[in-house]
């Protein structure tokens, strides 16, 4: 499994060679973009978009143009998430739509973006049956997910039931899909890493912030002010612990 370190610091692209996972929301307003030192992948920022507005405020054409700009100016972009519609219950309340409608809009957006950049299809749902139904929607649209080099799995990052995540990942992995786990927690990775082709996480930031709030200890052992929610040293140390704990291949940690 390949591990992508999630970060809200887009400037790390120019400073770090480890695979990074960056949100479109962090890059879209920048006039001058960093030049990537290593590989990276793009998150569309869909959770924040739908949770705040109940809809996408950016059209597919505008998003595709932004991704093309990132490819040209940042470089080393390996793949990008489409404008998918995640299915957390509170997000469904925001949009007023059903799981099925979110799945249909996710598939439709991928169809609109496919061929306009390095976009990967995303499966959305809440239960294993939902995700299997989403596979069927892609098939009905003429998309063979089993021929795709990567299929991202959404609506898993905010689940707190590791066993539930493992059942879903395991059920989908058995079909032969090469899965990417969006926003996986370290415990979920420990259970699922052998069933995933790749995953991303920025749980290091939450842990660095919570540790400081609870006992004022810095996770990195350094002397900077505040906790380690924005600490590059802690992020890299956390990444190494995840890789060691899951027995993953470690790319250069600089």
**How does DSSP classify residue 5?**
E
CA distances from 47 to 101, 105, 137, 225 (A): 16, 14, 21, 30
List the CATH number of the domain containing 62.
3.20.20.105
Number of domains into which the chain is organized: 1
Residue 10 domain boundaries: 2-246
- pLDDT tens profile 76-105: 999 999 999 999 999 999 999 999 999 999
User: What's residue 212's pLDDT?
Assistant: 64
pTM as predicted = 0.91
User: What's residue 4's pLDDT?
Assistant: 97
Residue 190 lies in a domain: yes
pLDDT of 213 over the 70 cut: no
**How does DSSP classify residue 119?**
B
Return the residue matching tokens 């799981």.
99
What value does the mean pLDDT of the chain take?
A: 91
Cα–Cα distance, 13 to 26 (Å, whole number): 12
- pLDDT tens profile 103-133: 999 999 999 999 999 999 999 999 999 999 9
Taking a C-beta distance cutoff of 8 angstroms, is the pair 21, 7 a contact?
yes
Cα–Cα distance, 248 to 18 (Å, whole number): 13
Residue 253 lies in a domain: no
CA distances from 185 to 189, 207, 221 (A): 6, 11, 23
């Amino acid at each position: 499994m390949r591990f992508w370190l999630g970060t809200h610091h887009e400037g790390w692209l120019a400073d770090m060679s480890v695979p990074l996972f960056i949100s479109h929301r962090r890059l879209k307003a920048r006039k001058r973009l960093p030049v990537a030192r290593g590989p990276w992948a793009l998150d569309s920022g869909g959770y924040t978009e739908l949770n705040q507005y109940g809809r996408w405020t950016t059209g597919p054409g505008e998003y595709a143009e932004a991704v093309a700009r990132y490819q040209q100016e940042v470089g080393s972009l390996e793949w990008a998430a489409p404008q998918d519609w995640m299915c957390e219950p509170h997000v469904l309340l925001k949009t007023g739509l059903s799981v099925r409608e979110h799945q249909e809009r996710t598939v439709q957006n991928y169809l609109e973006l496919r061929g306009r950049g390095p976009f990967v299809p995303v499966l959305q749902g809440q239960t294993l049956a939902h995700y299997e139904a989403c596979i069927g929607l892609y098939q009905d649209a003429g998309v063979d997910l089993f021929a795709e080099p990567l299929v991202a799995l959404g609506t898993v990052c905010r689940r707190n039931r590791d066993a539930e995540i493992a059942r879903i990942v395991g059920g989908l992995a058995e079909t032969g899909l090469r899965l990417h786990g969006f926003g996986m927690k370290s415990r979920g990775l420990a259970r699922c890493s052998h069933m995933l082709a790749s995953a991303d996480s920025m749980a290091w930031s939450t842990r660095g912030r919570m540790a400081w709030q609870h006992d004022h200890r810095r996770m990195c052992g350094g002397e900077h002010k505040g906790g380690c929610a924005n600490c590059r040293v802690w992020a890299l140390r956390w990444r190494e612990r995840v890789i060691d704990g899951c027995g993953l291949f470690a790319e250069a940690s600089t």
